[in-house]
């Protein structure tokens, strides 16, 4: 079983607040990803990282930012939350070599009032 953890699981917060979604993995994976998903719908890649100090934007434009200071940690930050940011955010990781499966956390369900 993959060990990747996301906190919080649920967050309801007011407009304009700064939010950080946490993601940690204990598998030593170099690659990490953030996806945005409306429940049960298509996954949209918003950020990814190939290792420490590496971050790239994904296919879906997002106002969020990410950092990768440690291999195991890949937090996502929204400086000023808006109702349009309401969604589910999924974090994943995979090994560097070749085509390797992505292991997902259980997501953060974010609601901006």
Partner 1 sequence: GENVEQHPSTLSVQEGDSAVIKCTYSDSASNYFPWYKQELGKGPQLIIDIRSNVGEKKDQRIAVTLNKTAKHFSLHITETQPEDSAVYFCAASKGSNYQLIWGAGTKLIIKP
User: Site residues (CB under 8 A) for partner 1?
Assistant: 40-43, 45, 48, 58-59, 90, 92, 96-107
CB of 42 to partner 1, least distance (A): 5
Question: In the complex with partner 1, which residue's Cβ is closer, 38 or 79?
Answer: 38
Place of tokens 């190939």: 50
CB 53 within 8 A of CB 68: yes
What tokens does 44 get?
A: 């949209």
- What tokens were used for 57? 């934007």
Q: Provide, rounded to whole angstroms, the least separation between the CB of residue 73 and partner 1.
A: 18
- Comparing CB distances to partner 1, the nearer of 41 and 113 is 41
CB of 30 to partner 1, least distance (A): 10
The Cα–Cα gap between 99 and 6 comes to: 24
Beta carbon of residue 106, minimum distance to partner 1 (angstroms, whole number): 5
Q: How far is residue 38's CA from residue 43's CA, in Å, rounded to a whole number?
A: 8
Residue number with CB closer to partner 1 (64 or 93): 93
Query: Is the dihedral angle over the CA atoms 44, 47, 50, 51 positive or is it negative?
Result: negative
Query: Which CB atom, from 17 or from 104, has the smaller least distance to partner 1?
Result: 104
Say how far apart CA 48 and CA 15 lie, in whole Å. Answer: 26
């Amino acid at each position: 079983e993959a060990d990747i953890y996301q906190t919080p699981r649920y967050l309801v917060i007011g407009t304009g607040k700064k939010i950080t979604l946490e993601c940690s993995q204990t598998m030593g994976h170099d690659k990490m990803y953030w996806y945005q998903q409306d429940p049960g719908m298509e996954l949209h890649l918003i950020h990814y990282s190939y290792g420490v100090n590496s971050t790239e934007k994904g296919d879906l434009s997002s106002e969020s930012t990410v950092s990768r200071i440690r291999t195991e940690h890949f937090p996502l930050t929204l400086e000023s939350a808006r109702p349009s940011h309401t969604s589910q955010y999924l974090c994943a990781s995979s090994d560097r070599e070749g085509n390797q499966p992505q292991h997902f956390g259980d997501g953060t369900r974010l609601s901006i009032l």
